[in-house]
Every structure is written in structure tokens, then in C-alpha cells.
Amino acid sequence: MSAPVQPQSVIETPAALKACLEGLGRGIVTVKPRVFFNKIEHRFAGPAPMNLYIPSSGIGSITLLEAAILVSLLKLMQPRKVFEFGTFLGYSSSLMLRNTEPGCEVHTIDLGEAIGQYEDAKGYSDAELHADDRKNDDYLRYTQGTRGTYYLGNLDTADRQRLTLLRGNSTKLDVAGKGYAGIFDLAFIDGGHDTATITSDTVKALEMIGDSGVIVWHDYNSTIHSDVTDFLRGFSADHVVLHVQSTMLALLLVGEASTRFLQIAAE
Ligand SMILES: C[S@@+](CC[C@H](N)C(=O)[O-])C[C@H]1O[C@@H](n2cnc3c(N)ncnc32)[C@H](O)[C@@H]1O
């Protein structure tokens, strides 16, 4: 596998992003958050609202800046079907439900109640959680299993009806068998962070979006989950991956969705 292409500069405008990607077939491109906010300003006549809960005090969910990028993407791309790997407490699922159109379905998968094997994780110290990616992942699995989908508790009826909560191991998900191949517009990958899981979730996400859509990964450049960064560096040998500066979000734009996204505010 050849080394990924790494452009030197950070992309600051939609036009610079479009120009950069037109000549690039692979590599990781770092993009400033303001590129997304600039696109929002051009796409909507007035200020764009964002519905969100105060973030959790614990580890495991996305930051406020990451939430703002995710919501910007949802508003720009207006997906009809979203798939999430890793529901956890439901923070990002609720964010996606509360910032998409009334017709948009959100499907999310997590392990659910299968916490027996993660019992040890309740005793891990903060230092262990920040130093050991496997312990960190087991702690997230344990926390999800014991606390459940806390942030989905207050959904209104209309949003609840747009949500499909899947329970099970994402690596065992039968995409074709469930009729999920090629029907999703956006996939958010934030489940298990080991190489086997991140690879499997990516293969399934690619199958789900088919020839057009967006994949978003969390934990690129994480100081804990280095497998995600290593995976995306390898993946970028054949794809252009956008990393959003000051976040752990990385994006892949595929087909018509890519053309549409790059066009907004680029001229
Ligand atoms: C980082 S948390 C997700 C955070 C959530 N996306 C948010 O921002 O609110 C990761 C979640 O992935 C789940 N997970 C880990 N491995 C999994 C697997 N193989 N299948 C399904 N879920 C998995 C964990 O149980 C945990 O709840």
C-alpha cells in the first residue's frame, strides 16, 4: 500500500476545498470548521438553528464543535436515511433526529444489554481509560449497557417514530439481508474502535451508501483510539478523506453527494 498523499495547507474556504479535491484522488485533507459554516450561510437565507442537549460530563460522546459540524452536514445534505454505528447514551442519535427533516429515518446499532463480559470495566481508573484503548472501549460498552439510551428518553412522538434502535454486534449485521444495501445517505461510524470493528463497520457503511452518500468517522487523531487513525491513513491510500480541524471527525464523500456538497458556496 502506497503512502497517503498529504497536502501541506489547511483548507479554509469552500472554493479551495473544491479546487483541491478536483486534482486529488487520495489522501487526507484537513479542512477548517468554518468551511462548513460558510456553506450553511450560503445555503440558508437566515441563521440556521441547531437543536441539542447539554453534553454529558462523562467520556464517550462527541464534542460541541463536532455536534455543530455534524448538524451542518445534515442540514447541507438533507439525508432521508442515516445509519449510526454506536448509539451509546443516544447523544448523537438524538442530535441527528432533532436536526433532520421530518421524513428522515435514523437507524442506530449498539450492543445493548450484553454487558456481562465487560463487568471489570466499572473499576477502571481515569488514568487507565485514557491510556488503554481496549479498556476505554470496554468501559463504553459497560456504560451503554448499564445506563442505556439516556438522551433518547425525551424524544417527542414524531422523532421516536423515525428512530430504529438495533441491538447486536455491528460486525454481524447482514446489510443485504436487512435490505440496507445502497439505501442510506449518511453513515456515522462511532462504535468499536479496534481495527477489526472499524474495518468491518466501514465496509458495511460503504455497502449501505452505495454509489452516493457521506461516511463520517469519529476518533480520527484520537490520543486513545489510535487504530481509527491508522485505519483511515491506510484507507486514504485509495480515497480522499476530509479531516475537520480541531475535531476527531473524518469524512468521505461519495458520488453525487460529493458533487452536491462541493458545489455549495464554491463559486
Ligand atoms: C463512543 S460510543 C458512541 C457515542 C455516540 N455515537 C455519541 O456520540 O453519543 C461507542 C459505542 O459503540 C458501542 N459498540 C462497541 N462495539 C460495538 C459493536 N461491535 N457493535 C455495536 N456497538 C458497539 C459501545 O457499546 C458504545 O456504546
pLDDT given at position 2:
42
Q: What domains, with CATH codes, occur in the chain? A: 14-263 (3.40.50.150)
For residues 264 and 39, is the Cβ–Cβ distance under 8 A?
yes
Q: Give the tens place of pLDDT for each residue, 112-122.
A: 866 678 888 88
What cell was used for 209?
A: 451508501
pLDDT given at position 146:
87
Interval between CA 97 and ligand 1 midpoint (Å): 17
CA angle 194/196/148 to nearest 5° reads 55
Residue 106's SS3 state is strand
Q: What percent of the chain has pLDDT over 70?
A: 96
Measure Cα distances from 54 to 95, 130, 145, 246 in Å: 11, 23, 22, 20
State whether the beta carbon of 61 lies less than 6 angstroms from ligand 1: yes
Q: Give the tens place of pLDDT for each residue, 140-185.
A: 988 898 889 999 999 999 999 999 999 999 999 999 999 999 999 9
State whether the beta carbon of 14 lies less than 6 angstroms from ligand 1: no
CA atoms within 13 A on the CB side of 223: 5
Interval between CA 85 and ligand 1 midpoint (Å): 6
What cell was used for 76?
A: 447541507
Nearest CA to ligand 1 atom 11: 86
Predicted TM-score of the model (pTM): 0.95
The H-assigned helical ranges of 89-194 are 91-98, 126-131, 133-147, 157-161
Strands 105-110 and 163-167: parallel
pLDDT band at 86 (very low <50, low <70, confident <90, very high): very high
Atom of ligand 1 nearest to the CA of 84: 6
pLDDT given at position 113:
66
- Over residues 197-222, the mean pLDDT reads 98
State whether the beta carbon of 118 lies less than 6 angstroms from ligand 1: no
E strand or H helix that includes residue 104: none
Strands 186-189 and 213-218: parallel
Nearest CA to ligand 1 atom 19: 169
pLDDT given at position 145:
87
Nearest CA to ligand 1 atom 8: 61
- Over residues 107-136, the mean pLDDT reads 87
